[in-house]
Structure 1
Amino acid sequence: MQTLDLAVLRTLIAVVESGSFAAAARRIGRSESAVSLQLKRLEEQIGEAVFVRNGKQMTLTGAGARLVGYARRLLDLNDEALAVSEKSIDGTVTLGVPHDVAETWLPAVICGFRRSHPSATLKVIEGRSAILQSRLADGQIDLAVVLTATRPANALWSANLPMVWIGRSDFHLKKNEPLQLAAFDPPCFFRAAAIASLEGADIGWSIGHASNTLPDLWSAVSLGLGVAVRTPAAVPPGLTVLDGRRGLPDLPPLHVSLCGPPVEFKKPAVDCLRVILEECLAVSIHAAA
């Protein structure tokens, strides 16, 4: 017997209420392609089209309208069931996340945690993975999502995600000219991976733009100051993933890991956040991979 995924049903409701895949993606903190993929799989699961598409206009089919009604009821029941334990789940949880996660998957996590456990407080700290691991070891944060070359020893959950070159659609690697990179200052996992891949392919490089924030990095790439290496989770509008036909070398995968203390040391609120994080990361990474 098949079971409907509540996360997918939340995506369906977000599309219906916001009116488009793009608006729904911003609302739930996922990429537009991830939203499209979720709804495609939902249609395959129920064996019916959910929307009729006419250009940018989307209209619910009869089956889609009936499904939305069931989706709202299922989600309401889910929230009511979670509310049974609300009084016992309180306290403050501090979560550390890299910039990429903060701008893509984090909003859905925050929304889910606050809706399920309104008595608890969630504090979020952004930073680079190495710094987050250090703060986790010092007890300054409770959980951390990190991006690393190998699975960390303190990982509670981990998955592979590809790294990709991202640039303007008109980019082409020029012969006898160094490739201009847009990257964070070291230490930066993505910067190190880009340089290692270029040097392994005997391709010259230079830093065309150094940044400390992700919005600034994307702005530099949009202006043609360099190409960047990140994950394919959320490629900004106007930029594209640069495949092998552009002359760029392959990149290794990375590990996306949720790290924290052993189970026996966790507070109830920390464990609740861990469950929500694992669900959101699993769905988002599967859609982005």
Structure 2
Amino acid sequence: MTDLAPHELRVLVAVDEERSFTAAAARLDTTQSAVSHAVRACERKLGAVLFDRGRHGARPTEAGARAVGYARRILRLLTVMGPEVRGAGAGAVGPVTGTLRIAAFRSAAAHLLPPVLARLAADHPGLTPHVRIVRELGRGTAGEVADGRADLGLATLDAGGPPPVPGLVAVRLYRESYALAHPQDHPEPGRLPLVDWAENCDSYTRDWWQRQDWLPPATVDAEDDTVALSLVAQGLGMAIMPRTALLGAPPGLAVTDLGPRPPSRFVGYVTTPELAGTPAVRALIRELRELPLPAGVTAAQGVSAPSTL
């Protein structure tokens, strides 16, 4: 197989993001026929159809989505290669420059990232973080990293299993327990309706949940944890939530422990093997590891080796 050239990788990414050969051509300042030719060349080299063409534009096939993910990751490495090589050649050790793309779910972005980014800005003023908030559903933040849209993702992780998406390096940063959130001064909060939201990590709490015969089925499904907390604070129900989601809870809300063996989840970071050693990602990882942890959260580190993507 003949290797794909960088300009072909850029065409694949542009078609995927624009969903149109014509729009991709305009974005790349070339012609629609040149884009079509490049896509056909990529398909011939890879031996697979990468896009479904039709009246509604171009949509990546399963093979195409995989190819575009690799294309983004390779282009990202080409971007960081020059500055990193020049730095190594000069023997310089100092502030990191460039961009750093981070994907995080909402509670991590709200409570974990701000102090980390503040220290990064102080130590590396030439480094520009780009943060995307991603719902931790399906492939979540790990999918953003695997697809080349982020250099590092803050993710919920299994206790000892593989990374959320194969091919990534996953490191657990901390373990946080869940607690009962309920209105203050309510005489029997356990009898209130249960408020839940789509991202609540039932995969980590399922066994515990099934043993709790006092918990009713959820009667309110909120859009996210902030909405759930607001409903609870107004006396409209109770919720089972991880500790970091309860930081900065609104007035009127109380938090009660769930006994000596509460459910818990691990939160950590995921990155690609090739980006794990780049200066920007290493600087972010150092700050994440030094983050002070709030009550109900304990440090827990462990590495899951990468597997084949």
* TM-score tier (shorter): 0.5 to 0.7
Question: Quick one: distance in 2 between partners of 1:278 and 1:255?
Answer: 14
Unaligned runs of 5+ in 1: 1-82
Matched, 1:270 2:281: yes
3-state SS in 2 of match to 1:128 = coil
Equivalent position to 2:153, from 144, 158, 164? 144
Question: Quick one: distance in 2 between partners of 1:235 and 1:163?
Answer: 15
- Stretch moving more, 215-224 or 156-165: 156-165
Q: Is the 8 A contact 2:234 2:252 kept in 1?
A: no
How far 1:156 moved relative to its partner?
Answer: 2.9
Matched, 1:160 2:175: yes
Q: Is the 8 A contact 1:95 1:123 kept in 2?
A: yes
Unaligned runs of 5+ in 2: 1-91, 164-168, 299-309
C-alpha offsets along residues 37-95 of structure 1, whole Å, 9 cap, x if unaligned? xxxxxxxxxxxxxxxxxxxxxxxxxxxxxxxxxxxxxxxxxxxxxx9712xx2221111
3-state SS in 1 of match to 2:243 = coil
Question: Quick one: distance in 2 between partners of 1:157 and 1:119?
Answer: 28
Question: Quick one: distance in 2 between partners of 1:105 and 1:259?
Answer: 15
How far 1:275 moved relative to its partner?
Answer: 1.0
What corresponds to 1:106 in structure 2? 113
Matched, 1:241 2:255: yes
Matched, 1:216 2:223: no
- Stretch moving more, 256-265 or 98-107: 256-265
Matches within 5 A, 1:1-289: 85-86=94-95, 89-129=96-136, 130-151=139-160, 152-153=162-163, 154-173=169-188, 180-185=193-198, 188-191=199-202, 196-233=207-244, 234=247, 236=249, 237-244=251-258, 251-262=262-273, 265-280=276-291, 283-285=292-294, 288-289=297-298
RMSD: 3.0
How far 1:250 moved relative to its partner?
Answer: 5.3
TM-score normalised by length of structure 2: 0.55
How far 1:219 moved relative to its partner?
Answer: 0.8
How far 1:206 moved relative to its partner?
Answer: 2.9
How far 1:201 moved relative to its partner?
Answer: 2.4
Counterpart of 1:99 in structure 2: which amino acid? R
More helix by share: 1
Q: Is the 8 A contact 2:151 2:281 kept in 1?
A: yes
The count of corresponding residues between Structure 1 and Structure 2 is 196
How far 1:146 moved relative to its partner?
Answer: 1.3
How far 1:265 moved relative to its partner?
Answer: 5.0
Question: Quick one: distance in 1 between partners of 2:157 and 2:266?
Answer: 5
1:180/1:198 Cα in 2 relative to 1: closer, same or farther (>3 Å)?
farther
Q: Is the 8 A contact 2:178 2:258 kept in 1?
A: no
3-state SS in 1 of match to 2:285 = helix
C-alpha offsets along residues 90-133 of structure 1, whole Å, 9 cap, x if unaligned? 22111111211122122101111112111111011112334111
1:139/1:244 Cα in 2 relative to 1: closer, same or farther (>3 Å)?
closer
C-alpha offsets along residues 133-154 of structure 1, whole Å, 9 cap, x if unaligned? 1111112111111123424533
Q: Report the identity percentage.
A: 23
3-state SS in 1 of match to 2:293 = helix
1:222/1:268 Cα in 2 relative to 1: closer, same or farther (>3 Å)?
same
